[in-house]
């Protein structure tokens, strides 16, 4: 009994492809129109109304699912250029931002895992910088100048708040010797 409930819960959590939802919605609306046209009387109206409701619910579900998109992958210069547009649309605020840590910009609040640093565009992209805030453990290869991907959300001041475990650092080609981290204490604050 519990196993069946767990299987049903797992099935409910699996994503339904948007084209499948759109197809069912279209079929429901078409079937409703056909039933209403072919059947006169109370049964035809009820069946048509039911099929129309299923089609409308499918369209509503399609719209709701379409609002929650996967994170968007962008470079720092693209985020800076499109900042206002990205902040206006709620579904477009979850980002994966690719860039380099600006040398000397890493600040760590003493006694915590709270970081503040700047990201810049890689050398092959137009120049731009983005303020980043992160609270959590950083990868071993997180250093000044390291190429990273930060997963997070744009906030009102235009900076990127990175989600927990949201920093992926590119592995350097030469792992030994690793330089010591270049952290400087942040100014005390909230």
| 6: containing domain | 2-67
Residue 59 and residue 101 share a domain = no
Q: What percent of the chain has pLDDT over 70?
A: 61
Strand partners, 117: 132
Q: Which residue has the higher pLDDT, 111 or 24?
A: 111
**Residue 114 resides in a domain:** yes
- C-alpha 89/C-alpha 86 separation (Å) is 6
pLDDT at 92: 45
Exposed (0-12), middle (13-18) or buried (19+): which is 58, by Cβ within 10 Å? buried
Residue 158 and residue 79 share a domain = yes
Q: Which residues contact 122 (CB under 8 A, 6 or more apart)?
A: 75, 98, 99, 100, 147
Domain tally, the chain:
2
Q: Which residues contact 113 (CB under 8 A, 6 or more apart)?
A: 135, 136, 137, 138
**Residue 109 resides in a domain:** yes
- C-alpha 79/C-alpha 65 separation (Å) is 24
Residue 129 and residue 80 share a domain = yes
Asked whether the predicted pLDDT for residue 158 surpasses 50, the reply is: yes
List, for residues 64-121, the tens digit of each pLDDT value.
655 555 668 899 999 888 887 777 664 445 789 999 999 999 999 998 989 999 999 9
Lowest pLDDT segment from 27-41, 95-109, 126-140: 27-41
Question: Any idea what the CATH number is for the domain that residue 97 is in?
Answer: 2.40.50.140
pLDDT at 183: 61
List, for residues 49-59, the tens digit of each pLDDT value.
777 777 777 66
Q: What percent of the chain has pLDDT over 90?
A: 23
**Residue 190 resides in a domain:** no
């Amino acid at each position: 009994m519990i196993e069946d409930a767990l299987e049903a819960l797992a099935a409910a959590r699996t994503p339904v492809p948007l084209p499948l939802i759109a197809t069912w919605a279209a079929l429901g609306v078409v079937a409703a129109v056909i039933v209403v046209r072919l059947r006169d009387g109370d049964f035809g109206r009820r069946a048509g109304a039911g099929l129309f409701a299923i089609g409308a619910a499918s369209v509503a579900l399609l719209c709701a699912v379409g609002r929650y998109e996967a994170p968007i992958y962008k470079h720092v210069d693209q985020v800076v250029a499109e900042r206002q547009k990205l902040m206006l649309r709620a579904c477009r605020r979850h980002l994966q931002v690719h860039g380099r840590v600006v040398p000397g910009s890493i600040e760590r609040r003493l006694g915590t895992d709270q970081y503040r640093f700047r990201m810049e565009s890689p050398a092959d992209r137009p120049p731009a910088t983005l303020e980043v805030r992160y609270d959590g453990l950083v990868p071993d290869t997180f250093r000044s100048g390291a190429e990273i991907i930060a997963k997070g959300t744009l906030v009102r001041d235009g900076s990127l708040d990175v989600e927990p475990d949201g920093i992926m650092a590119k592995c350097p080609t030469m792992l030994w010797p690793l330089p010591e981290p270049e952290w400087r204490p942040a100014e005390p604050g909230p």
